[in-house]
Structure 1
Amino acid sequence: MMSEAPFKAIYKVVDGLEIDTDVYLPSGSGGSTGVPVVINIHGGVFMLGSSSMVNNDQINDCLSRGWIVVVPNHRLCPQVNLLEGPMQDSRDLLAWIYDGGLQRVIGEQSKPHQVDLDHVFAFGTSSGGHLALSLGFDVPRPVAAIYDMYGCCNFASPFWSSKIPAVLAKLPPNLSQDFINQVYTESPIPTHDGVSLEGQAPGPPDFSRFRPAFVFTQIGNGTVMDAIFPSKDWDKVDPIRNISPEFPPTFIVHGMSDTMVPIGLSRDFLAELRKHGVLCGMREIPGEEHTFAARMKVGSQTWEMQKEGFDFLQKVLEDK
């Protein structure tokens, strides 16, 4: 059940900036029950990437299940902070869906799909995993369930202020602070950047550009959170501090060899979910580093194991 090419829709305008999302429709119309929706949020340390840099095989998996897939862009830090930028944009996208915005733009495409607002799911990789989790708290109506793929959480952990020598070793030695700080001058605030931590084209980061140079400097020096949320008011942005028995059912997939977001952070998050009685699960993927989603081969062991996240969402749907 494949899709036609996605169409773009504007879900938000802020300070004159239009923020868009790609919408993929399955071939079926969903019948009388309506069509579930998966919000698929790209990774990139909240500062890189775009909607074009998600895994197409995962999109096709969702489409084959008869789901609509919504792949949004969001404003990129650091000109706007984590809470007021990526998190607010993701939450406004969810509100747009619940308020009928998605149904309206589907109608403008003359498609018959009726959106099932009782089954809006969130999925994301890396920083996108965090943004998916942010749709489970401090929103008027949370998503129905969440699939978090090696998402960022537990920001009080010492890891977030620790250097990563392997990343520092990739940086050229002559980067000046004045050069990388040009990132703060970009206007309007960008909603996409052609670099992804997931490994997609156009290839390795170009450190002659100030945004990749800035971002990888922060990652290597352990200063990402200083850059994107300097207030450090973790209660407002950290999913692990916002779990209650009402938190949506959540499934986590994480590589056991991850050095950029260590698997222990997700294990801590899972333990907190269980402590509050939230329906949850986790699949640890042997041998996989961060960003493995981009390199998965359909039918491989890693592919089959990560599919358990979408199977979890399917089970939530079937148990309605």
Structure 2
Amino acid sequence: MSSTAQSTPDSAPPQPQVQPLKHVFKEVDGLQIAFDVYLAPSATKERPSPVLIWWHGGGLLQGSRSSLPPHLLAAPTRHGLTVISADYRLAPQTRLPEIVADCRDALACVLSPSFDSLVTGRVDTSKVFLSGSSAGGWLSLLVSSSLAFEKMGIPLVPGAKEKVRGTIPIYPISDITQPFWRTRQRPVSYLGGRVIDGPRELGEFLDPHAPQVANSAPDSKRSSFYHYMIQEALLEELLLTGTGLKGEDVAIAQGLNEGSITSMPPTLIFHGTADDKVPFSQAQSVADALRARDFHVEFVVEEGKDHLYDQDPKEEMKEMYEFVKRLAG
């Protein structure tokens, strides 16, 4: 079904934020990849909480698990939901198959006995939700659908299809073959006429042979990488060079339309109509394709809102938590 969000009322009273528990779920060539667990204070062994895994945006080129929006930071206290914010390695030093493998491994860790021990049995890992913003929303769709996992050499997570109750992509990238990603924009529309000098401003971050990293700070020079990528139409090159994959192989709507995606958990998509960093059509095409396959999809159209609108402390994302509550039972 489809809905249009209404204007947001005054936000609820601020909620105490839970201090996260850092957990290294993977190590590659000495590089530790971690997620932060924000455990719901109300969770007990007798009444364990559902859990949501969230991946940050940044075009898979920049960003960090520490960039959780306010509504997710409040969710453990306000909604009794355990939130996990997971890092993954960044491109181009790591290509898309390995990035998706990091996300797959974060999910596998959450479904493992070791995670149950970490949270002392207070999380119900039969009630898992996958989410992410922008490129992180794309990752949530890729992991939920297992699209191109076989081509990427990524094993499925045993039991995941039964335990992932829903997917919540927020203004997601979903198809890097669309003209927006393949057409140079000099200058990018939202940078006030500034043209980024990539080699000078980004330096070694452009070098695929530079050391791999699993996050970047907001004040890092890497923080202009996304804008440079749009300016030069580089996303396919940065993510897929040398992998044997084409952009079409990891396009969500195409995978649905062609039958490459054979199952999907219930999906709730958010996107703002004024988004000039990820086109609204990226979400619309996925919603249309899910609907055409008779998969459960709900689409919240945020009229007049831009990218990162959910970073506003007044944004409560009520539809998101109603969706989780309904499907968690």
User: TM range, normalised to the smaller chain?
Assistant: 0.7 to 0.9
Q: Which residue of 2 aligns with 1:189?
A: 212
Q: Which residue of 2 aligns with 1:129?
A: 137
Which of 92, 97, 106 pairs up with 1:93? 106
Once the two structures are superposed, residues 15-40 of structure 1 have per-residue CA deviations (whole angstroms, 9 ceiling, x without a partner) of 12111111111111245353211001
Structure 2: state its 5+ residue gaps: 1-14, 147-155
What TM-score, normalized to structure 1?
Answer: 0.83
What TM-score, normalized to structure 2?
Answer: 0.81
Q: Which residue of 2 aligns with 1:47?
A: 61
Q: Is the 8 A contact 2:61 2:90 kept in 1?
A: yes
Q: Which residue of 2 aligns with 1:119?
A: 127
Once the two structures are superposed, residues 130-189 of structure 1 have per-residue CA deviations (whole angstroms, 9 ceiling, x without a partner) of 11112212233242211110011022222221234325655456x264764521267531
Number of aligned residues = 293
Greater mean deviation of Cα atoms: 242-251 or 230-239: 230-239
Cα distance in 1 for partners of 2:85, 2:55 equals 6
Is 2:280 aligned against 1:263?
yes
Q: Which residue of 1 aligns with 2:313?
A: 297
SS of alignment partner, residue 85 of structure 2:
strand
Q: Is the 8 A contact 1:42 1:51 kept in 2?
A: yes
- What is the 5 A alignment of 1:1-320? 2=16, 4-85=18-99, 87-107=100-120, 113-138=121-146, 139-140=156-157, 141-142=160-161, 143-164=164-185, 165-167=188-190, 171-172=194-195, 175=197, 177=199, 180=202, 182-183=204-205, 184=207, 188-195=211-218, 202=219, 209=221, 211-230=222-241, 231-234=244-247, 236-243=249-256, 244=261, 246-294=263-311, 296-298=312-314, 303-304=315-316, 306-318=317-329
Cα distance in 2 for partners of 1:91, 1:147 equals 16
Amino acid corresponding to residue 171 of structure 2 in structure 1? Y
Cα distance in 2 for partners of 1:182, 1:167 equals 25
Q: Is the 8 A contact 1:41 1:128 kept in 2?
A: yes
Q: Is the 8 A contact 1:245 1:277 kept in 2?
A: no
Using a 3 Å threshold, how does the CA distance of structure 1 residues 17 and 219 change in structure 2: closer, same or farther? same
Q: Which residue of 2 aligns with 1:198?
A: none
**How much has 1:286 moved relative to structure 2?**
1.3
Cα distance in 2 for partners of 1:77, 1:185 equals 8
Work out which structure has the larger RCO, using CA pairs closer than 8 Å and 6 or more positions apart in sequence. 2
What value does the CA root-mean-square deviation take over the aligned residues?
A: 2.4
Q: Is the 8 A contact 1:62 1:310 kept in 2?
A: no
Amino acid corresponding to residue 143 of structure 2 in structure 1? L
Once the two structures are superposed, residues 227-280 of structure 1 have per-residue CA deviations (whole angstroms, 9 ceiling, x without a partner) of 222355235433323444521110001001011111112111001111111111
Amino acid corresponding to residue 221 of structure 1 in structure 2? E
Once the two structures are superposed, residues 32-61 of structure 1 have per-residue CA deviations (whole angstroms, 9 ceiling, x without a partner) of 353211001111111111011111332313
Q: Which residue of 2 aligns with 1:199?
A: none
Identity %: 25
Once the two structures are superposed, residues 106-134 of structure 1 have per-residue CA deviations (whole angstroms, 9 ceiling, x without a partner) of 24xxxxx4321211111111011111112
